[in-house]
Structure 1
């Protein structure tokens, strides 16, 4: 007999419940995969943005630092040290 607790059929019939359950599983798998490379979800968001839109021109922040270049150098350093 299965040791896992059974869920009510009426709950399993809800597409919203099933979608959230699949999303939770996907989230956990993504977090584990990123952790293998010493990365977290914010790093993944930046890398995905770079993949979708390409590198943007570096702009100077109000404090005078080149924000795009600084972010990319941190991510590159982490990626290279994990390899």
Structure 2
């Protein structure tokens, strides 16, 4: 029951963490985007799809942030229960 109440707050906080990570890594993304753009201009047309896949994979790293935050939260609850 407690987790049902916590889930919306946890989801909201998780997205806040993703936004923080994006802001902290904006220079990295700009560098990635710059080099990706150079590649898109210089590779053959049939390779553009592969570059798009690479960009999508780079962006999906945020899923790792969400998962890591959730696992950390669950671990903290488990440790708290063990200590009590």
Alignment TM-score > 0.5, same fold: no
- Structure number with the bigger relative contact order (C-alpha 8 A, sep ≥ 6) is 2
* More helix, by proportion: 2
TM-score by length of 2: 0.30
